[in-house]
Structure 1
Amino acid sequence: MTVIAAERAETRSPKQATPRHFLMCPPEHFAVEYSINPWMDPSAPVDSRLALAQWTELKSTYERLGHTVEVVEPQPGLPDMVFAANSATVIGGRVLGAKFRAPERAAEAEHFRRWLTGRGYRDLVMPERINEAEGDFAWTGEFLLAGHGFRTDPAAHSEAQEVLGVPVISLSLVDPRYYHLDTALFVLEKGANAQVAYYPEAFSAGSRRVLERMFPDAVVADAEDAACLGLNGVSDGRNVVLPPEAAGLTRALAERGYEVHHVDIAELRKSGGGPKCCTLEIHS
C-alpha cells in the first residue's frame, strides 16, 4: 500500500475523517466463471491466492484508518460474493435488500439478508424491482444518487425512496464498461455540502448536467482514471482508498487536501471490481 498526500490549498477547509462501518466478504471462492460485464473473461487465468491477499490488504487498510469492518461468510458456488457493495443498502437502520439481474448472482442476496437480520436489522425489505444496492446507490448524507442503464431498474429508484425514506436522484449510465454507478462516481464527503468524484462520459448528457448543477466543484476524472476503475474508490471524508493506477485522480485529490491510500486489487478487477465493490458501508 502507498499513501500520497499534498499540502492543502490555503483556500480549502481541512478535511475531516469520519469513522465508518463496513461489511466485506473474503474472496475464498473467487473466480471468473461467467461473463456478465465487459471486464470478465472466463478464459483468462485468475490467481485466487493473490485475490485473497489483495482483499486482506484492503480490509487491513480500513482497519488502520480506524474503521469498523465486519465479515460475512463466503459461500461456495458464488464467486462474486466478494463484491459486498451489491448486497444491500443500509441507511439509518433501514435496509433495502438486493435483487440481482444476473441469475448467477441471485443467491447472494439471501446470504446477506440473513447476516443483516442476524445482527438485529429488523426494518429490512427485500425488493420487488431489480436493484444491485450500493453498486448503483450512493448515499451523500442528504440524498441517494441512483444509477440505471445496465443493472438496476429505473423503477427501483422509487422503491428505494419509499423503503429508505430518503430523496433519490436518478442518473443514467450509458457506457457498458461502467455498468454500475460505483464504477463511475463515488462520494468524497457526506453532508449538506457533499462532494463527489465522477467520470462524465459514463453518464447521459442530461445526467451530466444534473451532476454539474449539484456538484459544481466536483473532482472530474479522465478516461485513464476510469479505465482502471479509479472511480470505484472509498472515502471517509479525508482518507481515500484507490487503485494505484489512478494517477491523475490521485493528484487531483491530493491537491484538494485528501490523503490517498493506494491498494492494489487488480486481481479482483478481472471481474470488474475495485475497492468500493468489495465494501458495503452501513450508514448510520
Structure 2
Amino acid sequence: MSTAIVTNVAAAEIPIPYKTAARPNFLMCAPTLYDVTYVINPWMAGNVHASSRDRATAQWQSLYQALARIADIQLVAPQRGSPDMVFTANAGLERNGIVMLSSFFHPERQGEEQHFRTWFEQAGYLVVDLPRDTSFEGEGDALFSTDGFTLWVGYGPRTLLASHARLAGIWPVAVASLHLIDPRFYHLDTCFATLEGGFVLYYPGAFDAASLAKIEAFYPAEKRIVVTEEDALRFACNAVNIGSTIILNRISDHLTRQLELKGFHTVQLDLSEFLKAGGAAKCLVMKLSRTA
C-alpha cells in the first residue's frame, strides 16, 4: 500500500498510518499556521507577514506529494504560537529510535520544543535533552554521511560547539564540526548536503578555511559538487536526497546539469514562500530512521 497523498490542509493534520514498505521515513508539519512573525535570520528581514499562506500551502503540498511517491511521511500537528513548526528539520536529530531534542537559540522558537517532545514520546522514541544554555537546532545543523559513520555538525549562528561532544556520546559516530561564518547560511543544511554515492553538495563561502579543509579531506574532488553563490541563495543545498532523486527548490541549469552528470535526477519545486523565512525543501522535513 502506498502513502496517501494529502489533498487539503485539514487532511494534512491527520497522522498517516504505519506503512509496512521499507521506504525512507520523514516527519513533516502542515503550514496551517505558517507565517513570518519575527526576525531571527537575515531572510526574515523585510518579510514579516509578507508570506501568502495559500501559496505556502500549495508549495508544501507539492513537496509532500513528491516525497510521498518514494517515502513514508509522518505528520506532527501545527500549534498556535509556533509558526516555524513547519520547519521540522529543526525539531531534533534522530537515529535508531533516539532523538536529541533541539534546544533552540532564539526564544521565539523555544515553545516548539514541548510540542515536538510530545510527538516523539508518543511515537515511542527515546528523547534526550541538552541544557538550555547549550543551543542545538537538530537536523538543521547535524547531518549524517550517507554511510552513517560520520556526523557533520555546524556551529556558529544557532548551534553551539559545546553540543557536539554530547552528540558524540549518544551515537557511535565520528563528529566533524564545521564553522558557519555567513549569517545567510545560519544552519548547516542551508549550505551543505550529503548525497547518495558518497557525494557532497556544498557552498564554500559559508565555511571558514579549517572547515573547508575538513570537507575536502573527507570527500575526494570527484565527489564534491560545488554550488555557486547564486544557487546557494536559492537554497540549492537545502535538498532532500532519496536514492538518485534530489528534491529541492528551483536551481540553475548549470547546477542541474552537474547533478545529472553525477547520476542524479532533480525534482525542482517552487518553495519561494518558505525562503521568506529562511527555509526550503530540507528544512521542511526531518529524517526518521524508523516508522513511528
Aligned residues of 1:83 and 1:278 also touching (Cα < 8 A): yes
Who is 1:101 aligned against?
105
Check if 1:126 corresponds to 2:129.
Answer: yes
Tell me which residue corresponds to 2:216: 212
User: Counterpart of 1:229 in 2: which secondary structure?
Assistant: coil
Counterpart in 2 of 1:277?
Answer: 283
- 1:194 deviation in Å? 2.7
Q: Secondary structure of 1:219's match?
A: strand
Tell me how far apart the structure 2 counterparts of residues 279 and 246 of structure 1 sit (CA, whole Å): 23
* 1:165 Cα deviation after fit: 3.4
Aligned match of 1:67 in 52, 71, 78?
Answer: 71
* Aligned-partner Cα distance in 2 for 1:206–1:179: 18
The structure with the greater share of residues assigned to helix is 2
Whether contact under 8 Å (2:135, 2:160) holds in the other structure is yes
Q: Percent identity?
A: 38
Cα deviation digits, residues 150-182 of structure 1 (max 9, x gap):
000000111111123322100001100000000
RMSD (CA atoms): 1.4
For 1:222, the equivalent position in structure 2 comes to: 228
Q: Does 1:55 align with 2:42?
A: no
Q: Please state how far the C-alpha of 1:246 moved relative to its aligned partner.
A: 4.1
Asked whether the equivalents of residues 95 and 164 of structure 1 are also in contact (C-alpha less than 8 Å), the reply is no
Unpaired segments of 5 or more residues in structure 2?
1-21
Whether 1:259 aligns to 2:265 is yes
Match of 1:158 in 2: 165
- The answer to whether the 8 Å contact 1:22/1:280 transfers is yes
Structure 1 residue 19, shift from structure 2 partner? 3.0
CA contact (8 A) 1:184 1:198 kept: yes
Q: Report the TM-score when normalising by structure 1.
A: 0.89
The answer as to 2:117 corresponding to 1:113 is yes
- Counterpart residue number, 1:5: none
Do the aligned partners of 1:225 and 1:247 also contact (CA within 8 Å) in 2? no
Distance 1:22 1:114 in 2: 17
Instruction: Give, in whole Å, the separation in 2 of the partners of 1:61 and 1:170.
Output: 32
State the TM-score, normalized to the length of structure 2: 0.87
Cα distance in structure 1, aligned partners of 2:289 and 2:174: 15
| AA of the residue aligned to 1:138 | L
- The equivalent of 1:239 in structure 2 is 245
What is the CA-CA distance between 1:43 and the residue it aligns to?
4.3
Structure of higher RCO (CA pairs closer than 8 Å, 6+ residues apart): 1
Give 1:175's aligned residue. 182
Given that residues 139 and 145 in structure 1 are in contact (C-alpha distance below 8 angstroms), is that contact kept between their aligned partners in structure 2? yes
Q: Is 1:88–2:102 an aligned residue pair?
A: no
* Alignment: residue pair count: 262
Distance 2:172 2:115 in 1: 24
1:33 aligns with 2:37: yes
Unaligned runs of 5+ in 1: 1-17
